[in-house]
Amino acid sequence: MLGASRSLTVAEETLHIGIDDTDSKDGMCTTYVGAVLFDVLRSLGVRMLDHPYLVRLNPNCPYKTRGNAAVALHVKLGRERIGDVKKRVLALVERLYERGYGDTQPGVAFILGEVAGELAGFAERAVREIVSLDEALELAASSGVELHGINGGRGRIGALAAASYRMDEYTFEAIAYRVPENWGTVRRIDAESVRAMDEATRGETFDNIDPETGEIRIAPHTPCPVLAGVRAVSAEAALRGLKMVRFNEPVERVVVFKTNQATDRHLVECSVAELRPNMSAVISGVVCSTPYTIPGGHTFIRIRDASGEIICAAYEPTREFRNIVRSLMPGDRVRAMGGVKMKPEGLTLNMEKLEILTLAEHYVMRPPPCPGCGRRMKSAGRDEGYRCKRCGERLPKSAAERKPLERKIKPGVYEVPPSARRHLTRPLLLNRI
Ligand SMILES: [Zn+2]
């Protein structure tokens, strides 16, 4: 009897798996490791609690590879299988990670059961600022999280963050992967089908095509296993969009990720005095310089709030966005959003978006008409007021005619083009859907 009742109560546990830093600038992709693992575990009958997560961590991280992406899988399984699943995860990471690069330092995290609030707080910080490996190790030890590191294991930071990341704001990306023999070769994607897909799914998918250049944006330019990825507001739309793209090469697998891409979750509202290098911030303030452009085409402006002053940059790759910045004038009230970097000139906010709240009134001054003959007077010299050449009338400087300057920009939110945008930055288009 005892044996029978025991077999009826199969204890199931929730396991959160995080993986980071398996790629290098020259190959592999942590999302691929996540995709393979997702398929492997599913084929073993492990129950998936959600889509795999693609978690973008702090985009200003100095030692990040490309997009600073980590992945997480959330599974439910019988207690007796946990050991075997962990072993398979570690073996897969060992097999797939990009070897021969000292700077690839994979990390794997296993969290059993509920994710404690302290862990979620850590994950949130890993998206917004720089967190240290020591901090990750301490937190893991105190919360009973199992961390594994390979080759130095700096990826344990991202692995812990990904496994504990609370995905309460998200979008989706359906990613198609290439068969290994094609990695590193030119991707064969029918551009026309991408344009047709973009049109057919508009309002649901985003960033398929650069609106300024017409360039296809669903495929990376790196030799990694990703063939193409379609970003969308729903899993269904992401997959439908991807299926509309014609690939002239085999697709190894397709996985739909739930992701914090396009959520603005990296941005922290703060004052100038609170800014630190490598964080992402939203600064509300007043423009306190005229915009200036340096050789190379980078445009700068200074913004002040009650606590201090910061240089805000629109670099050359932000293209047309610079024209917005160049149209700003002292006194304009703005919200500048972007990554903070320490530059020789001082802390600089690399703008991703710019909201113009109010435009300052500026005037063009011109000489008044002559009270005697009605003709326009001439300046009598610096601070000398005005004089009429014809009748000799004089008027003080304060008599000048003030005409409001017509501003070339309007209040509103402006963004950099998709090619210069961070994965985490929410495209303005999504706010209109
Ligand atoms: Zn006159």
Which CATH number do you get for residue 60?
3.30.70.2200
What is the arithmetic mean of pLDDT over 261-279? 96
CA 378 / ligand 1 centre spacing (Å):
10
pLDDT digits (tens, 9 = 90+) for 338-347: 999 999 989 9
pLDDT value at 3 more than 50: no
CA 377 / ligand 1 centre spacing (Å):
7
User: Which of residues 234, 259, 284 is at a domain's end?
Assistant: 259
Both 300 and 412 in a single domain?
yes
Domain count, the chain: 4
Both 238 and 380 in a single domain?
no
- The identity of residue 135, as a single letter, is E
pLDDT at 131 (0 to 100): 92
What is the arithmetic mean of pLDDT over 160-170? 96
**CATH number of 415's domain:** 2.40.50.1010
Both 119 and 66 in a single domain?
yes
Both 284 and 331 in a single domain?
yes
CA 362 / ligand 1 centre spacing (Å):
28
Both 179 and 327 in a single domain?
no
Both 62 and 27 in a single domain?
yes
Both 280 and 368 in a single domain?
no
**CATH number of 219's domain:** 3.90.600.20
pLDDT value at 408 more than 80: yes
CA 406 / ligand 1 centre spacing (Å):
29
CA 367 / ligand 1 centre spacing (Å):
12
Between 141 and 64, residue with greater pLDDT: 141
CA 256 / ligand 1 centre spacing (Å):
78
pLDDT digits (tens, 9 = 90+) for 95-149: 888 776 667 889 999 999 999 889 989 999 999 998 999 999 999 999 999 999 9
Q: What is the mean pLDDT of the chain?
A: 92
Q: Please tell me the distance from the alpha carbon of residue 230 to that of residue 218, in angstroms, as a whole number.
A: 6
Terminal C-alpha separation, the chain: 59
Containing structural domain, residue 234: 171-259
What is the arithmetic mean of pLDDT over 74-98? 93
pLDDT at 62 (0 to 100): 74
CA 386 / ligand 1 centre spacing (Å):
11
CA 394 / ligand 1 centre spacing (Å):
9
User: Which of residues 164, 179, 198 is at a domain's end?
Assistant: 164
Between 336 and 366, residue with greater pLDDT: 336
Q: The whole model's pTM is what?
A: 0.89
Burial of 396 (0-12, 13-18, 19+ CB in 10 A): exposed
CA 379 / ligand 1 centre spacing (Å):
13
Q: For residue 63, which of 103, 19, 22 has the smallest C-alpha distance?
A: 103
pLDDT at 222 (0 to 100): 85
CA 368 / ligand 1 centre spacing (Å):
11
* Pairing status of strand 171-178 against strand 280-287: unpaired
Region of poorest pLDDT, from 1-5, 48-52, 213-217: 1-5
Both 369 and 333 in a single domain?
no
Both 22 and 157 in a single domain?
yes
pLDDT digits (tens, 9 = 90+) for 230-239: 999 999 999 9
CA 404 / ligand 1 centre spacing (Å):
25
Q: Please tell me the distance from the alpha carbon of residue 172 to that of residue 194, in angstroms, as a whole number.
A: 18
CA 370 / ligand 1 centre spacing (Å):
5
Both 249 and 291 in a single domain?
no
What is the arithmetic mean of pLDDT over 269-285? 96
CA 401 / ligand 1 centre spacing (Å):
16
Handedness of CA 115, 118, 122, 124 (dihedral sign): positive
Q: To 5 degrees, how large is the angle CA 184–CA 317–CA 308?
A: 130
pLDDT at 432 (0 to 100): 65
Q: Please tell me the distance from the alpha carbon of residue 249 to that of residue 76, in angstroms, as a whole number.
A: 35
CA 365 / ligand 1 centre spacing (Å):
19
Both 357 and 367 in a single domain?
no
Both 153 and 250 in a single domain?
no
pLDDT at 28 (0 to 100): 73
